[in-house]
Structure 1
Amino acid sequence: MTYFYNVDYDEVFGNDSGENERDQALREYFVDLPEFRKFFSDKNELGIVRARKGMGKSAMLKVLSLRRKEQAPDDLVILTTGNELMGMGDFTGKSQAYLENHWKQVICKRICIEIGRRINVAFTDLEMSMVEAAELEGFKNLNLLSALTERAGGMLQKALAAAGGANVLEATKKRGVVNPEQALKNFQDKGERTVWILIDDIDAKYVDDDDNQQRVGAFFSALRSLAFNVSGLRLRASVRTDVWRNLRKMEDQDKIRQYLIDISWRDDALRSIFTKKILSYLKREQFPLALKWDEASNYYDIFDQIFYGKFNWSKQVVEPFIPLKFLAGGRPRWMGQLAKMAGVKAGTQRISEANIYAAMQEFGQEKISDIQKEHSHQFMALDKLIQSFRGGKREYNKYQVQKLIKEKFEDKVVEVPPVNGFPYKDVEQLVEFLFEIDFLVAHRPGKPDFVTYNSDPDLFSTEENHQNKIMWTVHSSYRNFLRIE
């Protein structure tokens, strides 16, 4: 076998964030699952993708944006973030009714700004106000884009006719628009088109308090109302699984649930993502064999260009994908991060088993930082809870792990904060929470496989566990950093 040398692992595994990945690279390695169809379909007014961090929510929204621009170039496709939208309005300490209407207005304001960008006129310079909630109700039988461009045209005419009109016209000329009214008319004449609003990271700064509960809950209620009461609009958004679960004050949650899809990568799909990334890199580098290879038929050949041989794992000799997936918790982003960190240890050579383990100190530290950011809104003292395991054993039965947490955490804090929004009652809550966030995984004595929360969420409350027949193991990716033997 001829091998590729001088590997650039940053180039192989790409950007850690899907929204910042190169368009062509994302097209090449993105893997479609059957459950994604309704999210991508233009027949569905509303779609929400739910997953943990690092599972590909942002990548899905970016891929949808790229596909819509290719398939329907006249449509207006807006890829934005929750932070951008929140910066366009006032969402602090308001009632649910106000917040829902305000979200609708802000979303329409964002569309108006995009119309201005398309014709090179900044409508914000014309003090273009947001569409009133009552006005939105009149858009049900009108195409939204046509209605908003007509409204923009009226505002533009008034601005040009007013005393400051000359200044407005001069400003548009500086942007290369000689006749802004004609530019808007040309934009309008393309007919009734669909507006796609793709909103990522609405929960980027979420903490579990009343303000955030109201704000994020009202956002999803506004999406549902807009999607089915305004013509020519398609809405897509992302949300973290843990945040969705904590939206206890959201009145419409049961009605919106049917528009949710969950990202859950099976092994074959994760393999495909990684194989496509490697093969795409080898082709860019003009590696001769790669030009003939096929992802499905040459899987082992492709992996062998990056990873050196088989790895020892759980008393077995396995392909490198197995430990890589487990150590990264099955999250594509974390798998890429671990591979790049191991690549630093490998230099320009293939990644060996020793390189993976040499990267675990740094990777474990990064992962602990990530889960604290992701889950601290569910339990504010997560950092201290995790540190209670430092220097301890790797495996405990139920009684032992509860004893550890009681002595090293509960007895040392003044007051244990709520868990998942519910008042603290006992140590069992904390063990189950650590299982839920994959800090602990379950293990049946004598069997090689580990059980995660996603694969069996009710395991902790079973009689099998109450009888101490389940062992609770600190996830192997954290052990090196926490000095757990």
Structure 2
Amino acid sequence: MHRFDDETIQEIFGADDAENEKDERLKEYFYKNMSYDSLTSNLPVRILVGHKGVGKSALLKRAFLEDREIGTPCVWLQPDALLNVQSDTRPSDQFVHRISVWKKGILTEILGAFFDKATLAQVSELDMASADSLAEIIVKWLDHSPGKDGKPRSLNIYIDDIDRGWKANPEDITNISALLNAIRDLGGKHPRIRFRIGLRSDVYFLVRTSDESTDKIESNVIWLRWVNDDILRVMAKRIATFFKLQYSEAAIGKMDQGQITTNILKEVIEPRFSGKGKWENRPVHKILLSLTRARPRDLVKLFRLAAKRAYRRGSNIITSPDLNGVFEEYSQERLQDIVNEFKSELPQIERLLLAMKPNKNERRTAVNYAFTTDQLSRKITRIIQQNNFTFTNGKAVSSRSLIQFLYKIDFVTARKELLDGNIDRKYFEQSRFLGHEIVDFGYGWEIHPAYRWALQPENVQTLLDALEI
């Protein structure tokens, strides 16, 4: 019999970030997808791009652990070491020089990870050596330490959290661009020195649209995207492995959502939501997935909050009142997430998001959380008139540029009602040009349900009734 104390909650649902997860537990519950296959393919440069909370660090760490298991040489470069390299560049440096600094700095860190100081001291004029000379030292070491099959080995370098402290200013954009060019150069000339790097999508997007040379790395980019169906399977595998249920990943993959709920999720949550109105007695996964922003971490957060509430009343099963009791807190945390994540790009982001709260007239009409482009433009124009917004990179502020920004950060999603009555919803990473400032593709917009309680905390049931399946 489990108890929802803090330790057990983390064991069941996983840590917030892969860096703080136990290696064995991560390997036990890790859910492999096509992005993982792309990341671990035999190519010199792999750039994993996605929003915070989509699991970039988990994929990188699992690949790193797999390398260690099979004996592939690998290095995990810590962010502080790379920040030291970045600090060696100056705003006045030519771009080519910055690339050179990155190449030499990364290779020096790699050598430091593999060889002790006494060994490195024997290499003459190491400090004066070029990046190519340093790379040759690594390649020669690989040549003299073949694998068990006698074949020459490659070295995998993992880089995560390089965008820590990101401010979205021209200096940061140039530095990240120089880093990407550096690893492309190294991987191209020395393909046995292979790079696997994680990058936030907003960082990549700003670099991609600011530096024309990044078109040369586009083929190396892996977009880490999730559909809600797979996010539910991620959670199912975590719960199944904790409770030692006899369901393999393949078996979970063959189940439909209802079967996942009744066979696996039932160990921790009631399968049916006992709300009122349109959500009365609906499968609980419908509620959970409606509040998830295509990020596995969102579902982890929601389960964790509800489990803690269940624990306070002495229960080992999450019920509908537990969920109702945490919707507002969950929503506030998700709103704070994107404020923290994107305030470097738009310092006044919190004012913009809070101003998106429905006004009295909108609450009386159909215009509440769903808008046509014209309706959303008019609303944002009114907000602009009462505030002073500035993009850090100097981009002009207009109602359409702010719609594009809100779409990019997943505060709003694109929506279109199809002829059969179903709603087609798209996130920015699925179709980035739907938020174009000039061209209208016929989609409307809706504020994601994850943020609605933070904007309108007065009535849980009213907001649930407004959710569409």
65, 72, 77: which one aligns with 2:74: 77
Residue 30 of structure 2 corresponds to 30
Tell me the secondary structure at the aligned position of residue 235 of structure 1.
strand
Residue 281 of structure 1 corresponds to 242
Residue 266 of structure 2 corresponds to 304
242, 258, 264: which one aligns with 2:202: 242
- 5 Å-filtered alignment, 1:57-456, equals 57-71=56-70, 73=71, 75-88=72-85, 89-93=87-91, 94-116=93-115, 132=128, 134=130, 136=132, 139=135, 142=136, 144-146=138-140, 193-230=153-190, 232-247=192-207, 248-283=209-244, 290-291=245-246, 295=252, 296=254, 299=260, 300-311=262-273, 315=278, 318-347=282-311, 348-390=315-357, 392=359, 393=363, 394-398=368-372, 399-407=374-382, 409-413=383-387, 415-418=388-391, 422-424=395-397, 426-443=398-415, 447=421, 449=423, 451-454=425-428, 455-456=430-431
Q: For residues 49-74 of structure 1, give each alpha carbon's deviation from its aligned partner in whole angstroms, at most 9, with x where no partner exists.
A: 11111111111110111111111x2x
Distance 1:309 1:249, change over 3 A: closer
Q: For residues 157-215 of structure 1, give each alpha carbon's deviation from its aligned partner in whole angstroms, at most 9, with x where no partner exists.
A: xxxxxxxxxxxxxxxxxxxxxxxxxxxx9xxxx99643211000221222222211111
Comparing 191-200 and 252-261, the one that deviates more:
191-200
> Is the 1:199–1:236 Cα contact (8 Å) retained in structure 2?
yes
State the shift of 1:362 in Å: 1.7
State the shift of 1:216 in Å: 0.4
> Is the 1:99–1:215 Cα contact (8 Å) retained in structure 2?
yes
Tell me the secondary structure at the aligned position of residue 252 of structure 1.
helix
Distance 1:242 1:133, change over 3 A: farther
Per the normalisation by structure 1, the TM-score is 0.77
State the shift of 1:308 in Å: 0.5
Indicate yes or no: 2:17 matched with 1:6.
Answer: no
Residue type of the alignment partner of 2:413: V
- Distance in 2, Cα, partners of 1:388 & 1:149: 61
- Distance in 2, Cα, partners of 1:113 & 1:134: 16
Residue type of the alignment partner of 1:78: V
State the shift of 1:371 in Å: 0.7
> Is the 2:240–2:247 Cα contact (8 Å) retained in structure 1?
no
Residue 483 of structure 1 corresponds to 456
Tell me the secondary structure at the aligned position of residue 206 of structure 1.
coil
Q: For residues 431-452 of structure 1, give each alpha carbon's deviation from its aligned partner in whole angstroms, at most 9, with x where no partner exists.
A: 3322332212345579564623
- Distance in 2, Cα, partners of 1:251 & 1:123: 41
Residue 45 of structure 1 corresponds to 44
- Distance in 1, Cα, partners of 2:27 & 2:454: 35
- Distance in 2, Cα, partners of 1:148 & 1:193: 6
Distance 1:432 1:252, change over 3 A: closer
- Distance in 1, Cα, partners of 2:20 & 2:287: 27
Distance 1:61 1:463, change over 3 A: closer
Query: What's the % identity of the aligned pairs?
Result: 23
Residue type of the alignment partner of 1:12: I
> Is the 1:31–1:269 Cα contact (8 Å) retained in structure 2?
no
Unmatched tracts of structure 2, length 5 or more: 459-469
Distance 1:314 1:385, change over 3 A: farther
Comparing 23-32 and 386-395, the one that deviates more:
386-395
> Is the 1:105–1:132 Cα contact (8 Å) retained in structure 2?
no
Unmatched tracts of structure 1, length 5 or more: 151-184, 284-289
- Distance in 2, Cα, partners of 1:144 & 1:14: 37
State the shift of 1:76 in Å: 2.7
- Distance in 2, Cα, partners of 1:313 & 1:85: 53
Which structure has the larger Rg over C-alpha atoms?
Answer: 1
State the shift of 1:277 in Å: 0.4
Tell me the secondary structure at the aligned position of residue 130 of structure 2.
helix
- Distance in 2, Cα, partners of 1:246 & 1:234: 24
- Distance in 1, Cα, partners of 2:282 & 2:182: 49
Residue type of the alignment partner of 2:84: G
Distance 1:148 1:448, change over 3 A: closer
State the shift of 1:241 in Å: 1.3
State the shift of 1:259 in Å: 0.8
State the shift of 1:122 in Å: 6.8
Per the normalisation by structure 2, the TM-score is 0.80
> Is the 1:439–1:474 Cα contact (8 Å) retained in structure 2?
yes
> Is the 1:17–1:58 Cα contact (8 Å) retained in structure 2?
yes
